[in-house]
Amino acid sequence: MSNADLLPSLLFKINQNQLVLEAAIMELALWVEQRGSADVAGNVRGALHTISKNEDFINMTLAVLMTPE
């Protein structure tokens, strides 16, 4: 397997890690908000919004890279 063949798999795994971290951080934001820190939770949600906005582009790019030529 060449290095070029590894790139799509690597990007897929990085994307998977990003999604798992996003879910974990959202859980923490909910926990913080339940304990009265709505401002902190709001800041976290703002950062997570950026991750969500980029997710469509990342998925589209992965689909293109993983499509056999």
In this prediction, residue 20 carries a pLDDT of: 93
CB 41 within 8 A of CB 32: yes
Tell me the angle at which helices 3-34 and 38-66 cross, rounded to the nearest 10 degrees. Answer: 160
**Domain carrying residue 55:** 3-66
Q: In terms of pTM, does the model score above 0.85?
A: no
**pLDDT, tens digit, 9 for 90 and up, residues 2-41:** 777 788 788 888 889 988 999 999 999 999 999 998 898 8
Domain count, the chain: 1
* Distance (Å, whole) CA 21 – CA 39: 21
